[in-house]
Amino acid sequence: MSNIKEVAARAGVSVATVSRVINGGSVVRESTRKKVEAAIRELRYSPNFSGRSLRTSKTGKILVMLPSLKSFYSTLVASTEKTAKAHGYSMLICHTKSDKEAEKSYLELLKNKMADGVIFLSTRLTAAEMNTLAREYPVVQCCEYVRGSNTGVVSVDDEAASFEAVTALIARGHKRISLFGAERVGTASDREAGYRRALASAGLPVDREEIYYDNHSAESGRRRARRMLEAGRKPEAIFSISDIISLPALREFYEHGLLCPRDFSLVSFDGSEESSVSIPALSTVEQPREAMGREAFLELYNRLNDPDYEARIIRLPHRLVLRETIR
C-alpha cells in the first residue's frame, strides 16, 4: 500500500536514505536509521519488487520445474529452498505435469524477468532447446537430465546404481529380469545401460521382449504389468526405473494373484517415502535427496553470480536399500 516516498516523508528523510536503510551496506547515521525503521514499521511498508527488479534487473527468485507433485520431491525441494533462502533467493515451483508446453510457458518467466534462473527436476525439452536456454540463463538439471546438454547437472550415477540393483537380483538367482523403463530421457537410458551391463556381466542375454517402455507415470506402472500378463508372461524379476512406476505395477500383479517376493522379485529406483511404507516395502536405489536439492541450488548460484561460470556435472552417492520385494 505504502511506498518508499511515504516512508521517507514520515521519517523526514529522502527516499535515498530509506533505500539505504532497507538494503543495508551503506553508511547511515544510527539515529536516522532508527527514524526510518520506525516509519517503515508504522506504515507497514514492504518494498515493491517490481520497482526494485526493474531498477536492478535482478529478481532474487529461482524457478523449480516439477513434473508432478509427489513426496519424493518434497524433501528435495525443501532442501533446495532452504539453501536458496540462505543465499537470499526465494523459490517458485512450476508444476509442469511433464507437459512441454506448460514447461515452455513457465520458462517465459525468465524472459519476462520474473526469475533469475531455473532448476529442472525433469524436462521435455530437447538437448538443443536446453542448450539454447542455458546460453541465456542460469540452468541446472537435477535427478533427471537430457543427454548432451551443457547445463549444470546434479544426479547420482544412474548407470552404476542400476548395475548394482540388477546385480542384486542376479545374485538372488534370478535369470529372467524384465526392465520397466522409459525411452528418451538421459536418465532412463543410463539406467537401462546399467541394466544391460549387469546382464552382460553375468553372461545373461538381453531379451527385447522383457523390456517394457512407457512414460514415467503411475498409470504406466499398471499398464506395463498388464501388458506383460497379456503377453502371457509371468514376472520373475523386475528392475523398475522408478518407485512411482513400481507401486502401481505391484498392485496390478497383486490383482492377478501375483505377490512379491513370493512370486517374483522387484528392485526399484528413487527411495521415495512410499517405498518404505508400501506393503511389501520396496527394494530400491535411494537417491540422496537432501544433498541433491542443496547442490542443485549451489551449482545454480555459482552461475547466477558469474555468467562465465563453467557448468559442472555433480555425481552424488546412491544407496541400494534391499527390503521386502526381493527374495
Q: Binding marks (x or -) toward DNA, 39..68, rule CB under 7 A?
A: ------xxxx-xxx-xxxx-----------
The grid cell for 85 is: 533462502
> Which one among 14, 23, 42, 51 touches a second copy, defined by CB under 8 A?
51
With CB cut-offs between 5 and 8 Å by kind, which of a second copy, DNA, none does residue 77 bind? Answer: a second copy
Nearer to a second copy, 130 or 198 (CB): 130
Distance from the first to the final alpha carbon of the chain: 64
Q: Report the alpha-carbon distance of residue 156 to residue 291 in Å, rounded.
A: 11
Q: Is 129 exposed, middle or buried (0-12, 13-18, 19+ CB in 10 A)?
A: middle
Neighbours of 193 (CB within 10 A): 15
Looking at this protein, which amino acid is placed at residue 307?
Answer: P
Distances (CA, A) of 318 to 168, 171, 176, 274: 15, 19, 25, 18
What part of residues 94-123 is at the interface with a second copy (CB under 8 A)?
A: 94-95, 97, 105-106, 108-109, 111-114
Q: Residue 81: name its binding partner from a second copy, DNA, none (Cβ under 5 to 8 Å by kind).
A: a second copy
Q: Of 24-32, 62-70, 210-218, 298-306, which segment contacts DNA by CB under 7 A?
A: 24-32
Strand 211-213 and strand 177-181: the pairing is parallel
Cβ closest to DNA, residue 111 vs residue 256 = 111
What is the smallest separation between the CB atom of 173 and a second copy, expressed in angstroms? 25
For residue 263, give the nearest of 290, 225, 289 by alpha carbon.
225
Report the residue number, 69 or 171, with the smaller CB distance to a second copy. Answer: 69
Q: Quick check: 241 and 180 in contact, CB under 8 A?
A: yes
Residues at the contact surface with DNA, assessed by CB under 7 A: 3-5, 12-20, 22-23, 26-29, 31-33, 45-48, 50-52, 54-57
Residues at the contact surface with a second copy, assessed by CB under 8 A: 1, 46-51, 53-54, 59, 66, 68-71, 73-74, 77-78, 81, 90-95, 97, 105-106, 108-109, 111-114, 136, 218, 247-248, 250-251, 254, 273-274, 276-281
